[in-house]
Structure 1
Amino acid sequence: MAKHDRPIEDIIVDDRGVVYIQDFRGDVYKLNNGFFQKSSFSDRALQFLEGAGSDLYFIHFDKLLQLEDESPKLVKSFSEPLDYFSSCNGLVIAKSKNRVYQDQGDQWLNLEISVDTKPETIIGMECMNDKIYVVCKEKLISIQGDRQEVTQLPFEGIDVISYNSILLISSRNEGLWAFDGKNFKKYYVPGVEFPKRVTELKARNHQLWLLSKEKELYLFDDTNQTLQKAAGNVNDFVVDKWNTLWTISGNKLSRKVFRHENIPPELSVRKLESNYLPVPVSATIELSARQNNLRVECEAFYSPDPLSLSYQMRMNDQDDWTDNGRKSVFTIYDVPDGKHKLEFRAKAGDNNFSRIKSVEIVKKAPLINGLWPYIFITLAGLLLLAIILIIRNGIRSKALNAEKEKLRLKLEVLKTEQKLGQLRMNPHFLFNALNSISGLIALDRNTEARKHLNAFSQMMRTLLDHSFTEVTTLSMEIEFLERYLEIEQMIRNNKFDYQFENHTDDDTRIPVMIIQPFVENAILHGIKYKDGSGHIDLRFQRQDRYVRVEIEDDGIGRTNAGKYKKEGHSSKAIEVIKERLEKLDKWNKQQNIVYVDQYDQKGNPSGTKVILLIPIQ
């Protein structure tokens, strides 16, 4: 069960099994690993529509939209605001005029309903036997070309679906009715008593789902001719491709598996990066000679047992698949020159595999490979030049040694300056931490107080230890950052949450106290002034002779943070760290600190990512 912080009004599921909800304020959220992730297309005027098969549609005033790659794409704009949509051959009806528009592939057929019909009385539109049926509360209109017929309902209709070659219609007080194209009759199954008033009907996989006025959800198995209660207190529901039932009630989303179908997981390749720059996802990817590394982010869905999912990869049709466990991100270092085929698949359980997703990679060879004859000739000349330079360098060696000693002393000054900065950690942080712990004690929440006091003391002990050493292990640095974030989280009343993702060895040795000031910046200048709660991601991975660290927040962004930012301890510490990294970096091939500003689809700042390349010691 997942809980939202506001009442949920609507729910849909797409062809990959991704569940979307819309709350009463119109905000749309995607269910991701048990948590709700806000989508970029939230709008109160957006109406969810469940389409044919597993297609998802939206109505937004006079526009019909279809969900593709987690983003609404325009299908068609109409001259009048739309009031109703049916997935039966792409039917829509305009709100202010009695018109039906049918998608015929290359064009849309425009049909006018000759019968006076108020849009608010329409309960559904279906197709059967080459006819379009517009079903209202009190009448049924059949349309076939220019011919239209009107049949009065012997009851007041509530909902309608096409089911087993009939129109199945629920009534206000008289149960279910069937229409075979000519006559109405009560829908009757021997030994089965359907609810008297069904407010919503859905059908999937020879199963009929019925939601009663009393919010009781029933499942009718057409194969076994049985009716069972599936759930209670249900406001709305959907059934995905694996026959998993999703129900909403208030602010709660619940999941229940019925007669599990042996359908494989759904896998997609969501994001590609080369040398930490985004690469468009396509069937064939061309890499330059300098693009050595490739990061592939996959995403899989399997609602019957999401915790059983794992990810695998192989290159060039090799027999053996590399198992990546539950990690959905693959990193390929030192991509060889030439053409390669990467294949990915997801596995649920022991042997339920998804369809294989392939990516073709073409890595260009360096131009130098065709220049060897010229290189040998050039080397001969360079050798002679080198002899001359060695003689000159002998004369200059003393001057260079003196400069080297000067740089060493400057690095020692930088180390001493940062250690002093460590020992005089932000007094506001220290005061707020102790004050918050004191508040917990005053409230008699001694267990929490002891927990945070212990974290605080361990953090201060680590600070003291770092003042006597120059390097530490990555695991100790991560442990220090976790304690620091725990204290910050307590001080700020859980205004943010955080997550660590480590893809390198815990015993990797790095310089001390490089990362904490950037985490502090993310909190003070990113999350602090954000409306609502925030999130911070810290990711660690090996990159050649460096540890790559990403600190990403979903705060107000650097542009907005400039309105509040004041120079102080944090900014001075970062300047010291920048100089220190430049001196420690023996290879000096890449920029050690990179800021990446994040924006949403409307171009508004949505956070900051800081990338650190820390030389391994």
Structure 2
Amino acid sequence: MLGAEELMGFDIYDLHQDSQLNYWITSDNGLYKFDGYEIKNIECEKMIDNSLFNLIEDKQGNIYCHNLNGQIFQVKNDTCKVYFTIPDSLIKNNISIKFDDQERLIIFSKKIYQLSNEKEILTLYDKELDHNHSAYKTLTDSLLFYNTLENEFIQISNGQLTTRSLEIDFKVIFPNFMEIENKLIGFNRNTLEIIKKLSDSSSIELPNMPSSRSDFRIYTDNKSIWVANLTGGAYFYKDTGHFTLPSNLVFEKNIISCFLSDHEGNSLLGTFGKGIIVVPNTGFQDIQFDFTNSEIVKVAKMKNESLFFGTQAGEIIKIDSLGKTIKIVEKSNKRIELLKSIPELNALFFNGKNDNLLSYSNNKNLASIPGSVKDVCYFENHKYLTVSNSYLYWLDSNNVKIKKSRSSNFRSYSIGYDSLSKSIYQGTAVGLRIFGLKNDRLFLLNGKDVLADDIKFSDGKIYVATKRHGLLLFENDSLIEIWSTSTGLMSNKIKLIKFYEDDIFLATDNGINRITKSGELVQSINYTNGLNAKNILDFELSRGMLWIVTNKGVQNILLSEIRNDVYTPFLELTSIKVNDKTIDTAKHNFNYENNKFVFEIASKTLKYRNDIHYEFQLVGVDEEWVTSTYENNVFEYKSLPPGAYTFKVRSVYDSNYSDVIAYDFKIQKPFWLKTSFFILAAIFFLLIVFIVLYFQIRKQKNKLLIENKFNKTQLTALKSQMNPHFIFNSLNSIQDLILQQDKENAYNYISKFALLVRKILNHSDREFIDFEEEVDVLSVYLSLEELRFKNDFSFQIKTNGIKDIEIPPMLIQPFVENALKHGLLHKKGAKILGIEFIFKNETLICKIEDNGIGRKKSNEIKQRQHKLHDSFSIKSINTRLEILKELYGKDVGVDFEDLTDGDLATGTIVILKIPFKRRF
């Protein structure tokens, strides 16, 4: 059933298959489209009434339909719009639309009209129409209508409308048309009698219907006839030469409302409220049993070709060779799990409510076997071998006695006997056991156990139906052949084996295979042929007819009606989505962000859809072909990395392959992964390295220049400390002390002078020295100056507990010397010099304060002495401070502050900011 869920509860009015093999459905709930995979509603704006009728198609593939309000709708690219609205003045109680052989849209309503390309109404037939009939379109695109109000036969062909008057009693005869074997047949809808005046052939006889019945519709596929009962069900007539009323009404629970024969020969029957019935093969007949509502689960055949059916409720129903049906066993507390015939006894072996019974067909019980019997096979000497859950039993057909043989050891499912090797084959839960005169073994295939569902002996060979390995053939207890999917079978899971005439029939989980005894495939019986389900519970062959029991009921078909047409599936790539957007398939290059690809394919078919699968591969991702079912026709790849890919797909039916569809595409690398980018990046990197190195080298050069300047300033500082004037004054002081016979002071002076010179020389090649060492140098230097100034000079150095730091050497002494030389030397009276070190905001400050004559008076003295420039040591120190500031980036420099008392200068303060390093 197609659309059992999507169309449930909707009345279907018309069916149409378009040129693209899509199916269109009109109903009382609007318009639907089935593309072979899903049914979707096609909504139309401005639709007044949802009940739609009369599906037609133009040569461009556009679909048209209408409602009874006169709205004609056009569907183009799945978009529905109101194409034209028939004026109310031209509408009667029925409307139909058709395209004629000139592709003109013809409207049958109150009269017959043509709708022009400019959507103007042109009247073709000016007489009022009888709407008990509908317009009929022939296979040659002629339009036919019989107007009983005027007794005129109307035909529109070759662009012309012609009429012909006929003497027909329209009160009794209601003319309708159909074509059989390409011949036009006019018939009375009430009685199915042929109207010779409206028919191309009088040799065809339609089914004889009771003259009192008019509650049916007639449909044909040009060969067969469906007679749909308006109260439910339909009769099917296959013989086109002579039709007789069949005894069986099929689809009795369905009211059939319309018919379509598609391009594959499927018969589609629209219904009221229950979807669409699909009949792929009209040769298959669904069998209904009047004696039970229980599910049929087993079937067995007797010698006289009578058939017995077992039910889920434990009943057994017999159909004799004449087709008569009777129930021979009533309901029990067990389902029929075993149903086998015993030809020698003309008896039936089955499991019933009293354990397991052997019964004549006349219901006479013969024997019972304890336990649950699973299988039975002929042994020899009129004996049968049965197997139950626990034991093997002998059944002697001569005296109808049951005898226990041996324990079966394992739970068993099947039993077989090789009369040549005298071996018993037993299918158990642990595998296939073979035991006979010489051996008792568990058979392994490639080291694995074999689970056997059925075992049969024929022509000196044992045939074993397995769950995983196909059909195994044994001869003289040795495996000689394996028939499987590689040899043409539909599946490797074989359930049942039957021999009929010269062939073997195998029930698999995909249908039934008919093969020769040499293993050659003859037929495949599956959904394509009309099988209603793949789950085959049992089957039998009788009088050239195949009876199949599935989980969906019982079917039969003449073996001569089973056809295996050579079918090669058609495949198309319907859409490609990249990042969830549909693209033109002509596009093959994408940027790196477009990396999600979804491919949708279609292999549109109803007949073969259940037996088709797909094989697809994305070269560059999938190493092998990947298999997908028919319904799974969308293949998604997320987050593909940059690279070149080829998507390939094909559809497979049986061993036939469609053409491979291939789509090549390339995802570009992001610009940062492209070769050009690497080249540019390398050039840019090298440029950056060059620039960095250039500035580093330049910085190093500048640093070297600064260090050279710094070294020069250090040398200058050294010179300032060791200048000839200082040395000369020191030697003069030593000479005076010696002349004064002051040996002790002379010795002290010489010692301190030597110590000062040694310290200055030791510090001359170092950038930083300990703070304490610099203070010692200042102390020694000032001690020497104190000896020179006699008792007039005193000094004080305050460190305020500063320690654990290093400072540049020879930075303070020039300012101290300057204070002595220019501030205190010319002062009369007490000369006082104070040096104080202070830490303030991570800045080392040295204050040098003297009570000398001040800078103004000192400059005046220098001018009188024609000394117009500063001491070279002060200039050198300033330069050195600038270099230190540049090197260390700290607050480095010197400030001068004049001390006054009113207008009188009382001294000078030098504030020196010194860079430093911490030791730790």
TM value normalised by structure 1: 0.49
TM value normalised by structure 2: 0.35
Bigger fraction of residues in helix? 1
Q: Which has the higher contact order (CA 8 A, sep 6+)?
A: 1
Larger Rg: 2
